[in-house]
Structure 1
Amino acid sequence: MSKKTLWVFGIILAAMACFIIMASLSLYLLTRPARIEVRQNSVLEITLERELPELPPTTPVAQIFERDSVSVIDLDRLLRAAAKDQRIAGVYVAIHPLGNSWAQIEEIRGLLHEFRQSKKKVYAYLAVDMANEKELYLASAADEIYLNPDSGLLINGLMAEVGFYKRMMAKLKIEPQFLQFKEFKSAENFTREKMTPEVRSMLESILVDIQDRFVRTIAEERKIDPARLREVIKNGIAPAPLAVQEHLVTALGYEDEIQSKLTVDKSEGGKEYRSISASKYLKTLESSQGAKQRVALIGGLGPIVSGSSDEAWGNFMGGETMAARLREIRKEKDIKGVLFRVDSPGGSAVGSDKIWREIRLLEKEGKPVVASMAGVAGSGGYYIAMGARKIVAEPSTITGSIGVIFGKFNLRGLYEQWLGITVDQIKLAENADIFSSVNSLTDQQRNQIKAWMEEIYNNFVRKAAEGRGTTFADLEPKAHGRIYTGSQAKQLQLIDEVGGLAMAMNLLKKEMKIPEKEEVELVLYPKPKSFWQSLMEGDLFKVSTPGPSLESFLKRTQQILETPSPWLIAPELMIH
């Protein structure tokens, strides 16, 4: 190698090193904590929009992009601290269009009500073009609600929509092959054009339960006659003046007008509005390190797969990854209990069973587990929670769905008539094609799968009965794949208590035999790493890479389609 080549190579390496150093320095400056001052008589400002994450981010990528986000567990912590903080005069909540589940809204409502017990006020501002039921439901937990003069309320009653794809399947020449246990397990979206009577009655009971609770709550909070509120709901739209007239909001106004009501005197004369954002206030709080008892906090979040979790963003949970984390908690001698936050519609039966097994082993180790259900904990989501010593759910949590579903598609028609692809086969056994993507199930194959599914269903019911301290015969009629709200599940003894994280923590303390008022240290799993830890350990650049070719992608897709997978997944439910 010539001297000139070495010089060029050296310059390139030096340039790359400078770039990495500059990028690392920029990220450090971006992520390092700044000094934050909380002034006397400050208003804690909380902005709620889209959907709050359940837990703080733990991965390096998420920590960078979500550095100012506040999770549900963070909101719990900062509102408890603000209630005791003499520097905090009140809370101002700006409510934007929400993507939260009904149960998550109930969790936040509970936190705001607990804050109000400190005799400090909560002010809500509906920063939306048209506030719907969820946004009003959340705002009603405040002492005062304000609405833009050109806005309004859209409280026109709840509706559930279920999409059906039978005609689309027929047009694409795709033949769905689905089996389910039992009649409530799914809406049979791919093989029907409308709901079965059983599914319709189930969804109607869910809607009635949630809407009745909405009416009772708003009527009580806003001191309105429930019958009058139902009349407003029949009309559907309440323009801003009507919303004030019906006492659904306190007054109309703009953000600056609300803030002007919360001003305090300045030492040099005049008035000023003092505020601190939720994300900044959170950074001023001391951790509970040094508490006598340590409790693991772990989330079972997203659809369940049998293998590894999505480590970058946590969009789904892998049975193997979750089992490894729970095993780690079991081996940590100073961890005495586990708070298990579940928000999952279910998924892989095998993945769910792996997680359930580790929960049971934690209990055998003498470490009590309390499951706190968020928006949905259905089917596999219920499966992973049912091994816990106690289960807590919000009134509107969607849970249950104790059942199993199996499905595949015969794509031969799509291949041949639409794509011009033909497939020829050689079989060395009669059932070699049972999970082929270009063959339909024979009657004998269908019966084989039914027997397999029945065994999985019976195991599910048996383990649920064991977890709930009852018998198979008593629990099985409550199964059948049916979903329930948290309040309905409590009546059927599928859960122990109705409530949120605070209720779950109190139950866990009781099981650990420690006083309710005693502080415990919550240890988040997986343990968050700093940017520098992740950089030094090589985690920052662990990203999945795409397959080398279209052919490999198609082969992987075909393998997925031909892999037999029974699913413990709750039916999709969109409530508007």
Structure 2
Amino acid sequence: MRFFKIFFASLLALVTFVVLLFIVLSIMIGRALSSEKVVISPNGVLVLETGQEYREQRLVNPLGILMKDEPGEVPGLFQTVRLLEKAATDDNIKGIYLKVNGNPNGFASTEELRNALVRFKASGKFVYAYGEVMDQNAYYLATAANKLYLNPKGGIDFTGFSTQLLFLKGTLDKLEIKPEIFYCGKYKSATEPLRETQMTEANKVQTTEFLGELYGNYLAGISKARNIDTATLHSYANQNLIQEPADALKYKLVDGLKYDDEVVNELKAKTGIQEDADLNLVTIGKYNNATYLDNGDASNAIAIIYAQGDIVGGHSDRKGTIASDDYIKDIRKAREDKNVKAILFRVNSGGGSALASEVIWRELSLAKKVKPVVVSMGDYAASGGYYISCMADSIFAEPNTLTGSIGVFGVMFNMQDFFKNKLGVTFDGVKTAPYADLGSVGRPLSEVERKFIQNGVDSTYATFKSRVVAGRKLPADVVDSIAQGRVWSGEQAKKIGLVDHLGGINEALACAARLAKVSTFGLKEYPEVKESPVTMLVKSLSGEEASQRMLKKELGVNYEIYKQLKEVQDIRGEIQARMPFRFRFQ
């Protein structure tokens, strides 16, 4: 009897699951096939959340398929810029309400969004911003507004920039794990956390310089928007004068101290809506669903290829990676498509595998022989990110882009003492050749093996520099002097010849059109989103995506530390063209 009870209970659970799955699929299919169109009614105010991360390419939201009020996709950065341009000429949109609640976007992405807001404001429409607690990056974005309000009990972080690196050498020493490190470049500091307990002088020099550049641009933007000279702004930070909301008002960093409902009432008055009526707030997701962005003539197109994340070899289903096999296919498709007149390669990457970078560089070089290739750099285009950019006909960067880092390294770990002394584990074996077990964690490298590996790193570095020499048409000695693994801001990079122009995606597109000799053009975007909504939904609820969401939620700001530790695991063995562990500015 017990068996049958368990059997029928299991059967009932299975039937229930199948029924629920059928209902879910029916909802998804019904929504997918629905012809109902989202309509924006008059007197709309577009809501832009600064706390939203805008990736380079749109992110399909599978949960939006199930819930009517959820957006079906989160617009990408350039898509959001285009939506703001569309809203500027949309009679149903009267202005923008910028809700300032943090800003996870990098400096270059923030600059792109801020410039779009400034252009929107120049159309004659208003931009109002309100926040409770504003970090420095969020405040910078908010200064594009006509009116900037702070919660009376809120706060603004205005204390200057700092960055801290996490050093693991002491931990490795305690665990008796010995990293075997090989690198080229005086400033190639990606391995410092494994071999030092603090920043080297060379790393401090480069970080101080580009951090100063970023901070100078930050103050200049705020100065222009708030009509306060940069020296005065700098003194606010130096003396930590902005401690209370009243201080922010006193020193003119904001226009007033108000609660959200008071700002909403002001927006109602601005748009001619009665105080007891609802304000017509339109989220960027809803506006995206309701708005048709015309990609133009597909027979006369510019291909935009978005490359964001770590550069890895082969194929990858993981979001946030630039997998060489996948990108070769996309670049080749754009190269062979006679309707594509030029390629805009949008790079937002701190690098990764040196070999994968070389493979992508090769495919882009082949494309360049057939049609113009223009690179637009995002927050990062450093090390491997610069490797895959340097061959372009023209390179654009934002002043706050971090680029360069022309250098390579390799890391292996000798864990013999860790296993033996901490765990009581020992290793033994046989081999058919002296170097068959090269790279084993169970023994140290010999001096001969170290020379083998260093020679490989040196050779890769020489190849990297030669690609820069050829692509940028610079003398070898000049490239050697500006390489050395050194990170440069976009503004610095323009001065030394690593980039051609300062500007965003729109400027890079205009350049691609000029080089292709086309006055009007359409857009084709790669990688193409090919997965079905059902597949994306399953992936979002299980596997790596689900675990990453959970980790981000649980770890909060400490998620960056987890990512750095994860990178240590990922860099073992293969030669890397990767910038120092991502800088987190505070």
Deviation at 1:563, TM superposition (A): 7.6
Name the residue aligned to 2:5.
none
Secondary structure of the 2:316 match is coil
TM-score (ref. length: structure 2): 0.86
Query: Take 2:52 and 2:251, find their aligned partners in 1: how far apart are those partners?
Result: 27
Change beyond 3 A, Cα 1:17–1:99: closer
Deviation at 1:293, TM superposition (A): 2.4
Alignment of 1:131-530 (within 5 A): 131-186=134-189, 188-236=192-240, 237-263=242-268, 273-291=279-297, 293-311=300-318, 314-366=319-371, 368-515=372-519, 518=520, 520-529=521-530
Answer yes or no: is the 8 Å Cα contact 2:97–2:129 preserved in 1: yes
Query: Take 1:172 and 1:465, find their aligned partners in 2: how far apart are those partners?
Result: 43
Structure 2 residue runs without a partner (length 5+): 1-7, 546-565
Query: Take 2:530 and 2:334, find their aligned partners in 1: how far apart are those partners?
Result: 17
- The equivalent position to 1:568 in structure 2, one of 550, 557, 577, is 577
Query: Take 1:333 and 1:96, find their aligned partners in 2: how far apart are those partners?
Result: 45
Change beyond 3 A, Cα 1:530–1:452: closer
Answer yes or no: is the 8 Å Cα contact 1:127–1:147 preserved in 2: yes
Query: Take 1:234 and 1:139, find their aligned partners in 2: how far apart are those partners?
Result: 22
Secondary structure of the 2:46 match is strand
Deviation at 1:127, TM superposition (A): 3.5
Deviation at 1:174, TM superposition (A): 0.3
Deviations 1:315-372 (A, max 9, x none): 2221111112212222222222222221111111111111111111111122x22211
Answer yes or no: is the 8 Å Cα contact 2:377–2:397 preserved in 1: yes
RMSD in angstroms over aligned alpha carbons?
A: 3.1
Deviation at 1:470, TM superposition (A): 2.1
- Single out whichever of 479-488 and 179-188 deviates more from structure 2: 179-188
- The equivalent position to 1:123 in structure 2, one of 107, 125, 128, is 128
Query: Take 1:48 and 1:480, find their aligned partners in 2: how far apart are those partners?
Result: 36
Deviation at 1:269, TM superposition (A): 11
Alignment partner of 1:52 is 2:58: no
Query: Take 2:448 and 2:14, find their aligned partners in 1: how far apart are those partners?
Result: 65
Secondary structure of the 1:136 match is helix
Query: Take 1:512 and 1:167, find their aligned partners in 2: how far apart are those partners?
Result: 55
Answer yes or no: is the 8 Å Cα contact 1:180–1:186 preserved in 2: no
Query: Take 2:14 and 2:227, find their aligned partners in 1: how far apart are those partners?
Result: 71
Deviation at 1:21, TM superposition (A): 3.3
Deviation at 1:400, TM superposition (A): 0.5
Secondary structure of the 1:484 match is strand
Answer yes or no: is the 8 Å Cα contact 2:154–2:245 preserved in 1: yes
Answer yes or no: is the 8 Å Cα contact 2:438–2:445 preserved in 1: yes
Q: Following superposition, which runs of at least 4 residues in structure 1 exceed 6 angstroms of deviation?
A: 10-17, 59-66, 265-270, 532-535, 538-545, 560-563
1:522 maps to amino acid: L
User: How many percent of aligned residue pairs carry the same amino acid?
Assistant: 29
Name the residue aligned to 1:548.
none
Answer yes or no: is the 8 Å Cα contact 1:435–1:563 preserved in 2: no
Secondary structure of the 1:575 match is coil
Deviations 1:185-207 (A, max 9, x none): 11521111111111110111011
- Single out whichever of 132-141 and 51-60 deviates more from structure 2: 51-60
Query: Take 2:277 and 2:539, find their aligned partners in 1: how far apart are those partners?
Result: 50
Secondary structure of the 1:193 match is coil
Change beyond 3 A, Cα 1:562–1:70: closer
Change beyond 3 A, Cα 1:29–1:259: farther
Secondary structure of the 2:194 match is coil
Answer yes or no: is the 8 Å Cα contact 1:266–1:272 preserved in 2: no
2:311 maps to amino acid: I
Query: Take 1:62 and 1:433, find their aligned partners in 2: how far apart are those partners?
Result: 50
Secondary structure of the 1:184 match is coil
Deviations 1:47-67 (A, max 9, x none): 121522221126968988973
Name the residue aligned to 2:83.
78
Answer yes or no: is the 8 Å Cα contact 1:57–1:63 preserved in 2: no
Answer yes or no: is the 8 Å Cα contact 2:273–2:279 preserved in 1: no
Answer yes or no: is the 8 Å Cα contact 1:45–1:91 preserved in 2: yes
Change beyond 3 A, Cα 1:563–1:191: closer
Change beyond 3 A, Cα 1:276–1:267: closer
Deviations 1:416-455 (A, max 9, x none): 1112211013243333333111222222222222221111
Secondary structure of the 1:49 match is coil
Change beyond 3 A, Cα 1:66–1:37: closer
Name the residue aligned to 1:25.
26
- Single out whichever of 253-262 and 61-70 deviates more from structure 2: 61-70
Change beyond 3 A, Cα 1:425–1:238: same
Secondary structure of the 1:160 match is coil
Name the residue aligned to 2:555.
none
The number of residues matched between the two structures is: 546
2:584 maps to amino acid: M
Deviation at 1:408, TM superposition (A): 0.5
1:476 maps to amino acid: D
Structure 1 residue runs without a partner (length 5+): 1-7, 546-556
